């Protein structure tokens, strides 16, 4: 029987397969004996980003009986089977952060899975943003207000990680595709962190810290223009997510016409010595730096895409076993 999302850790055998997939070894050459330190957390986060791609292919190629429900299982055994034992697949945000959360718990960390409402405006990438003074750019209090007021349903998960070997708690999120965090961020107002290809992140406490459940906002700044202000990406509270709510998000991302999941097949990963490789629809992009980008088109999303996915990410088999091609917006929309 398939487990639900509330199974909270990996078995020793599952942990071993996960650590083998990401290439983790401890100083004693016994990966499972690694201490739950900040250094271990940083290494695991770095290695997963460079070994397991973000990809949404299960949302686009599914067994016919899965079209009316969630496309992906969040059960630990299924996550390990897909991304570790098979050795070739990745996953989308709920799968990647779900696998990481359970692996970190098995390594001795305390992990709280929280839901987040994405309030990000893609215009942050544009140079047409309103210019601000240095002080305004530093605080961006008006953006905090708009992020608090934005009407957005939580559709993402993130991890808050601590341990007896660490003095503080940290935000970890490897499920944001091109915007994933490359290092843990200290849970503290105005704490800074790094993202892929020069992106910067900042954590803001957006409500009174004396509140029973204060709201935090993760902000982003891209390297395309230093004058672009901090922009709010998502808001969250430190309350542990209800596993049933996470399962509902998974079903919503699989079926709803309003789903934020890319409406075309998509995959991305950091590849050592190359940079960030991304495939979206019929376009392949290799980003060696913030302004060093190579792009080309593939001829056929149904045939050539499979070769490109295998070449760059080792991803294979997503079109096997009787699956059919669907587009997210074409799947039956339930009454939410």
Which residues does residue 115 pair with via DSSP β-bridges, in sequence order? 157
Give the least confident one: 67-71, 85-89, 202-206, 280-284.
67-71
**H or E segment and range at residue 277:** strand 275-280
Whether 259 shows a pLDDT value over 50: the answer reads yes
Q: Closest Cα to residue 112, out of 156, 69, 159, 67?
A: 159
- Residue 254, pLDDT score: 79
- Residue 211, pLDDT score: 79
Per the model's pLDDT, the better-predicted residue between 100 and 4 turns out to be: 100
- Residue 138, pLDDT score: 55
Q: Closest Cα to residue 218, out of 197, 239, 193, 245?
A: 193
Task: Provide the mean pLDDT of the chain.
Answer: 85
d(CA 278, CA 177): 9
CB neighbour list of residue 303: distance below 8 Å, 6 or more residues apart:
none
| 138-181 pLDDT, tens digit each | 555 667 888 888 888 899 999 999 999 999 999 999 999 999 99
**H or E segment and range at residue 158:** strand 156-162
- Residue 329, pLDDT score: 57
Q: How many CB atoms lie within 10 A of CB 26?
A: 15
| 12-38 pLDDT, tens digit each | 999 999 999 999 986 554 555 689 999
Q: Would the pTM of this model clear 0.85, i.e. be above it? A: yes
- Residue 63, pLDDT score: 84
| 60-117 pLDDT, tens digit each | 888 887 777 788 899 999 999 999 997 789 999 999 999 999 999 999 999 999 999 9
d(CA 85, CA 169): 31
Which string of DSSP letters, residue by residue, matches 88-118?
S--B-HHHHHHHHHHHHHHTT-EEEEEEEEE
Whether 4 shows a pLDDT value over 50: the answer reads no
Percent of the chain at pLDDT exceeding 70 = 83
Confidence of residue 255 (pLDDT cuts 50, 70, 90): confident
Quick check: helix, strand or coil at residue 1? coil
- What token pair was written down for 5? 């999302």
Whether 130 shows a pLDDT value over 50: the answer reads no
CA distances from 76 to 228, 270, 330 (A): 40, 24, 29
d(CA 208, CA 195): 27
Burial 292-328 (b: 16+ CB within 10 A, else e): eeeeeeeeebeeebbebbeebbebeebbeeebeebeb
- Residue 308, pLDDT score: 94
d(CA 178, CA 202): 16
- Residue 125, pLDDT score: 37
């Amino acid at each position: 029987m398939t487990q639900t999302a509330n199974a909270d850790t990996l078995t020793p055998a599952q942990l071993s397969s996960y650590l083998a997939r990401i290439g983790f070894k401890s100083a004693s050459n016994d990966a499972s004996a690694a201490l739950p330190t900040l250094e271990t957390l940083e290494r695991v986060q770095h290695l997963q980003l460079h070994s397991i791609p973000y990809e949404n292919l299960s949302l686009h190629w599914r067994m016919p009986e899965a079209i009316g429900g969630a496309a992906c299982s969040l059960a630990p055994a299924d996550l390990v089977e897909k991304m570790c034992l098979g050795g070739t697949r990745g996953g989308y945000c709920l799968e990647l952060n779900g696998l990481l959360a359970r692996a970190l718990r098995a390594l001795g960390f305390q992990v709280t899975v929280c839901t987040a409402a994405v309030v990000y405006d893609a215009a942050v990438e544009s140079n047409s943003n309103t210019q601000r003074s240095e002080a305004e750019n530093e605080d961006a209090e008006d953006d905090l207000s708009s992020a608090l007021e934005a009407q957005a349903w939580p559709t993402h998960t993130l991890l808050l990680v601590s341990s007896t070997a660490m003095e503080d708690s940290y935000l970890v999120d490897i499920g944001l595709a091109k915007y994933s965090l490359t290092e843990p961020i200290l849970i503290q107002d105005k704490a800074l962190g790094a993202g892929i290809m020069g992106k910067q992140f900042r954590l803001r406490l957006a409500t009174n810290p004396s509140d029973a459940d204060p709201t935090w906002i993760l902000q982003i700044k891209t390297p395309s223009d230093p004058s672009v202000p901090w922009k709010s990406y998502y808001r969250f509270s430190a309350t542990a997510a209800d596993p049933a709510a996470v399962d509902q998000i998974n079903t919503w991302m699989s079926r709803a016409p309003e789903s934020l999941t890319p409406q075309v097949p998509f995959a991305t990963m950091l590849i050592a010595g190359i940079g960030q490789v991304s495939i979206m629809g019929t376009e392949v992009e290799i980003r060696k730096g913030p302004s060093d980008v190579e792009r080309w088109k593939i001829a056929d999303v149904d045939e050539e895409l499979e070769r490109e996915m295998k070449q760059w990410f080792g991803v294979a088999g997503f079109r096997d076993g009787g699956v059919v091609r669907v587009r997210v917006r074409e799947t039956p929309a339930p009454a939410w």
